Structure 1
Amino acid sequence: MVDQLRIEVHDAERFDRDVESLLRELDGLREDLLQLDVEDVGRPDAGPAPPGSRSSALEQVNALLVTLTAAPALLHQVVTVVGKWRGRASGPAPDVSLTMGDRRLELRGGDAEEQRRMVALLLDASTPPVEGRRTGDG
């Protein structure tokens, strides 16, 4: 099974005034992610802009779309790469959201323990139940 993970960087203060910097930063993250066993890492298709509005392509500049198998280990590697990328940022780490299906993880601030806990919850929610294993037995 193949899934798509949407990664969005939310750092309006820094990147709104310097889109080129954001593009360079995301290109670096894309290269890091391509070192993993993912199917693809690209930019999401924004589709056509609604009539009378600005180009929707500008709204997609902060995002990457990772296509990967549904293996929990690979998802963990992707999230780890994103965390390391955030740690290398000049200045405060940018806020990043990771969305897969109806699950969303927000990485904000620098509380590493809280982020590890949130990543574990995303990974648990993304792991299909093992056949024969019963849950809820206490």
Structure 2
Amino acid sequence: MEARTIPVVLVLDTGDGDEEYAEEQLQQLIAELSELDLDSIDRVTQGPTPPGSRSTEAVQLGALILDLGGSGALLPALAAVVQDWLNRRRSGSIRLKISEDEIELTGVSDEVGQRALEEFVRRHGD
């Protein structure tokens, strides 16, 4: 029997519309995500816009599909890397989507946002 995979759609929105800056930020994020033991990190460069996306262009510039492998055990580490990355920039946002469940993280972490992220991870973690 083949192990199920857990694809996570990650969409980066730098909030400023500067394509060059968005690409630079995405490359930095990919470098940090590469430190995790993900099965794959793929860029979304064409095809339909994921539900909830603001525009096709934004998705093409800042969307990734991450494969966590056969369990959600890496989801807490992924969430921590993403939140830390955003906190260091203090701007922009990242949406994480698993199936129809989605959460938007920002560079301003508060108690309510942290609880929402913990609940999201709990729903999809191992």
Residue 101, structure 1, aligned to residue 99, structure 2: yes
Bigger CA radius of gyration: 1
CA deviations on 1:67-115 (whole Å, 9 max, x unpaired) are: 11243330110111111110121xx321211101111011135133222
Aligned to 1:5: 8
Q: Which amino acid aligns with 1:66?
A: L
Q: Which runs of 5+ in 1 are unaligned?
A: 49-55, 129-138
Q: Contact 1:30–1:42 (CA<8 Å) still a contact in 2?
A: no
Query: Structure 1's 116 and 45: CA in aligned 2 closer, same or farther, altered over 3 A?
Result: same
Q: Contact 2:5–2:70 (CA<8 Å) still a contact in 1?
A: yes
Q: Contact 2:97–2:103 (CA<8 Å) still a contact in 1?
A: yes
Aligned to 1:115: 113
Within a 5 Å distance, the mapping from 1:1-138 to structure 2 comes to 1-12=4-15, 14=16, 16=17, 18-47=18-47, 59-89=59-89, 92-108=90-106, 110-127=108-125
Root mean square deviation, CA, Å: 2.1
Q: Which runs of 5+ in 2 are unaligned?
A: 49-55
How far did 1:42 drift? 1.8
Task: Percent identity, please.
Answer: 23
